[in-house]
């Protein structure tokens, strides 16, 4: 059972069949999945969703697959929780974290999009899948295609973090490190995609793949008790996640599953790769591509495919775009770890630091609800923080050495040393 009508050009609205297509032949606009919302409205309800599987597939009626899901049965349905400690630190009354650093199976929100993309790729008859990745997509396609028994080609920039390389290579894909940045990788992959009958999840399967990101937004609403938050801070690489969270909020409103979709959406980028922020500040509809230079490699896309649509969503929602420096990103990672016990990767450092900035400047009022998106796991980007978190105390295996070293080197309060 599917409610998909077909693909539709985002620019000229021409219709296309549900195939491995992604660009309009007439105007070169990108294609998007088109649904029959009247029929979906008759079929879905809060109760039906609540009875569904504890994964992205509880929202299956709003995803672009024809049959039952066949890949990624446990992706999604990650925790959303009140961040009391971080809230206190930032002076926020109602702060929440949506934590995809524990998404199954590869610890980033990319597991959602890949579950949808590979299920669709199988429906379309592909036996080989591929992707151009900034890191997390590489791991997720490698893992989920391994499980699904699909041939897999993974293309990454050659300077990726070790954790991302190992986190892909272990699943035995054909991992290709390209000498260049992500935008070079992506351009090469577009040429390769035109040559072979492969499903490139973020190129020729992109319309379906991108829909998987909506589940992050659906979960935020369901987990808040079928409500939208007043503010959401979203990391931006290609801009797809941001666009789809906005779409998810508006779909639930249209379907009567939430009363309001009046959230303000904020784009968070690293200063060293902030084309969306620059366009927002210059009040321009045109994004100028940049050469990325930041530790936030998962967000290092200098020419974001969905950048213009992200700008539209930010503006339509009344939000804004903001960026932070590499030292601020490191501080964001450390604040989140120290207050909430969560180790996020650089992208999470970007959203936490950007949220902090937006709160401190008054853009996000302290008495209104706010969700910060945490989209990836810190164990994959250890080099970002390893030089900034101190070192373990080195001691001999004796109590004497322990006490001597800790008493001289660590500034521990005297009452901690109370003996029994
Ligand atoms: C890919 C990625 C994003 C952003 O994705 P887009 O949809 O391309 O904007 C955010 N966070 C992490 C950790 C990612 O890997
Ligand atoms: Zn078109």
User: Ligand 1 pocket: which residues have CB below 6 Å?
Assistant: 108-110, 134, 136, 235-241, 298-299, 345, 347, 375-376
Mean pLDDT, residues 324-349: 98
Nearest Cα neighbor of 365 from 4, 181, 180, 92 is 92
Nearest CA to ligand 1 atom 5: 237
Burial class (CB in 10 A: 0-12, 13-18, 19+), 253: middle
Task: Give the whole-angstrom CA distance, residue 291 versus residue 314.
Answer: 23
| Topology annotation, domain 4-73+110-209 | Rossmann fold (3.40.50)
Instruction: Using the mean position of ligand 2's atoms as its centre, give its distance from the Cα of residue 34 in Å.
Output: 14
Please identify, by atom number, the ligand 1 atom nearest to the C-alpha of residue 100.
13
Mean pLDDT, residues 47-63: 98
Please identify, by atom number, the ligand 1 atom nearest to the C-alpha of residue 108.
13
Task: Give the whole-angstrom CA distance, residue 311 versus residue 60.
Answer: 28
CA distances, 336 to each of 161, 183, 300, 339, 368 (Å): 21, 30, 22, 5, 20
Mean pLDDT, residues 180-197: 96
The answer to whether residue 38 scores a pLDDT higher than 80 is yes
Instruction: Using the mean position of ligand 1's atoms as its centre, give its distance from the Cα of residue 236 in Å.
Output: 6
Mean pLDDT, residues 34-43: 97
Nearest CA to ligand 1 atom 4: 237
Please list, residue by residue across 123-158, b when 16 or more beta carbons sit within 10 angstroms of its beta carbon and e when fewer do. beebebbbbbbbbbbbbbbbbbbeebebebbbbbbe
Please tell me the number of the ligand nearest to residue 114's CA.
Answer: 1
For the chain, the structural domain boundaries read 4-73+110-209, 80-106+213-384, 393-420
Q: Are 220 and 371 in contact (CB under 8 A)?
A: yes
Which range is least confidently modeled, 36-45, 105-114, 409-418?
409-418
Nearest Cα neighbor of 114 from 200, 35, 52, 183 is 200
The answer to whether residue 413 scores a pLDDT higher than 80 is yes
CA distances, 67 to each of 50, 55, 204, 334 (Å): 20, 17, 20, 43
The answer to whether residue 1 scores a pLDDT higher than 80 is no
Please tell me the number of the ligand nearest to residue 16's CA.
Answer: 2
Percent of the chain with pLDDT over 70: 100
pLDDT at 414: 86
Which range is least confidently modeled, 144-153, 297-306, 310-319, 405-414?
405-414
pLDDT at 339: 98
Instruction: Using the mean position of ligand 1's atoms as its centre, give its distance from the Cα of residue 248 in Å.
Output: 17
Q: Rg for the chain (alpha carbons), in Å? A: 22
Q: Are 128 and 151 in contact (CB under 8 A)?
A: yes
Please identify, by atom number, the ligand 1 atom nearest to the C-alpha of residue 376.
13
Nearest Cα neighbor of 152 from 124, 178, 130, 122 is 130
Mean pLDDT, residues 92-105: 98
Nearest CA to ligand 1 atom 14: 298
Nearest CA to ligand 1 atom 8: 238
pLDDT at 417: 87
pLDDT at 412: 84
Q: Which letter does DSSP use for residue 383 in this model?
A: G
Which residues keep their CB under 5 angstroms from ion ligand 2?
9, 11-12, 14, 24, 26-27, 29
Please identify, by atom number, the ligand 1 atom nearest to the C-alpha of residue 213.
7
The answer to whether residue 259 scores a pLDDT higher than 90 is yes
pLDDT at 61: 97
Please identify, by atom number, the ligand 1 atom nearest to the C-alpha of residue 210.
7
Nearest Cα neighbor of 316 from 242, 379, 259 is 242
The neighbour count for residue 196, using CB atoms within 10 Å, is: 11
pLDDT at 22: 97
Nearest Cα neighbor of 244 from 201, 306, 182 is 306
Task: Give the whole-angstrom CA distance, residue 99 versus residue 39.
Answer: 32
Choose one of 212, 298, 301, 384 to mutate for the ligand 1 pocket test, by most ligand atoms within 8 angstroms of C-beta: 298
Instruction: Using the mean position of ligand 2's atoms as its centre, give its distance from the Cα of residue 30 in Å.
Output: 7
Please identify, by atom number, the ligand 1 atom nearest to the C-alpha of residue 301.
8
Choose one of 106, 107, 136, 333 to mutate for the ligand 1 pocket test, by most ligand atoms within 8 angstroms of C-beta: 136
pLDDT at 99: 98
Please identify, by atom number, the ligand 1 atom nearest to the C-alpha of residue 239.
9
Q: At what angle do helices 162-169 and 136-148 cross, to 10 degrees?
A: 10
pLDDT at 381: 97
Task: Give the whole-angstrom CA distance, residue 131 versus residue 146.
Answer: 14
Instruction: Using the mean position of ligand 1's atoms as its centre, give its distance from the Cα of residue 64 in Å.
Output: 20
The token pair that represents 21 in the structure block: 């297509």
CA distances, 309 to each of 208, 400, 419 (Å): 17, 63, 62
Please tell me the number of the ligand nearest to residue 13's CA.
Answer: 2
Mean pLDDT, residues 385-401: 96
| Topology annotation, domain 80-106+213-384 | Rossmann fold (3.40.50)
Mean pLDDT, residues 255-272: 97
Mean pLDDT, residues 312-337: 98
Instruction: Using the mean position of ligand 2's atoms as its centre, give its distance from the Cα of residue 9 in Å.
Output: 5
List, as one string, the DSSP characters of 211-264: HTTHHHHHHHHHHTTS---SEEEEE-SSSHHHHHHHHHHHHHHHTTSSS----E
pTM of the predicted model over 0.95: yes
For residue 136, the surrounding DSSP H or E stretch is: helix 136-148
Instruction: Using the mean position of ligand 2's atoms as its centre, give its distance from the Cα of residue 126 in Å.
Output: 26
Nearest CA to ligand 1 atom 11: 375
Strand partners, 233: 266, 372
Please tell me the number of the ligand nearest to residue 296's CA.
Answer: 1
pLDDT at 408: 87
């Amino acid at each position: 059972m599917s409610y998909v009508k077909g693909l539709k050009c985002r620019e000229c609205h021409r219709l296309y069949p549900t195939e491995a297509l992604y660009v309009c032949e007439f105007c070169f606009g990108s294609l998007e999945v088109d649904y029959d919302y009247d029929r979906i409205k008759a079929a879905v309800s809060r109760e039906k969703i609540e009875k569904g599987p504890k994964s992205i597939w509880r929202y299956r009626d709003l995803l672009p697959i024809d049959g039952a899901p066949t890949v990624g049965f446990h992706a999604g349905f990650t925790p959303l929780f009140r961040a009391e400690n971080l809230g206190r630190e930032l002076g926020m009354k109602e702060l929440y974290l949506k934590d995809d650093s524990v998404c199954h199976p590869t610890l980033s929100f990319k597991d959602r999009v890949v579950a949808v993309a590979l299920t669709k790729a199988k429906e379309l008859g592909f036996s080989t899948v591929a992707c151009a990745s900034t890191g997390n997509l590489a791991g997720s396609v490698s893992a989920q295609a391994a499980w699904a028994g699909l041939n897999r080609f993974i293309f990454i920039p050659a300077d990726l973090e070790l954790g991302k390389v190992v986190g892909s290579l272990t699943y035995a894909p054909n991992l290709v490190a390209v000498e260049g940045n992500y935008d070079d990788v992506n351009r090469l992959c577009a040429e390769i995609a035109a040559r072979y009958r492969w499903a490139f999840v973020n190129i020729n399967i992109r319309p379906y793949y991108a829909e998987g990101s909506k589940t992050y937004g659906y979960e935020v609403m369901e987990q808040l008790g079928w409500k939208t938050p007043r503010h959401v801070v979203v990391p931006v690489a290609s801009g797809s996640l941001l666009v789809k969270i906005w779409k998810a909020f508006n779909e639930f409103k249209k379907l009567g599953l939430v009363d309001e979709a009046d959230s303000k959406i904020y784009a968070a980028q690293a200063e060293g790769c902030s084309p969306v922020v620059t366009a927002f500040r210059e009040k321009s509809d045109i994004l100028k591509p940049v050469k990325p230079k930041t530790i936030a490699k998962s967000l290092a896309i200098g020419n974001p495919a969905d950048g213009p649509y992200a700008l539209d969503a930010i503006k339509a929602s009344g939000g804004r775009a903001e960026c932070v420096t590499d030292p601020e990103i490191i501080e964001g990672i450390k604040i989140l770890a120290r207050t909430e016990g969560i180790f996020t990767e650089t992208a999470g450092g970007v959203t936490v630091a950007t949220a902090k900035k937006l709160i401190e400047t008054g853009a996000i009022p302290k008495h209104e609800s706010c969700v910060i998106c945490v989209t990836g796991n810190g164990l994959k980007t250890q080099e970002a923080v390893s030089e900034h978190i101190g070192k373990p105390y080195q001691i001999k295996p004796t109590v004497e050495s322990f006490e001597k070293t800790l008493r001289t080197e660590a500034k521990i309060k005297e009452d901690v040393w109370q003996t029994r």
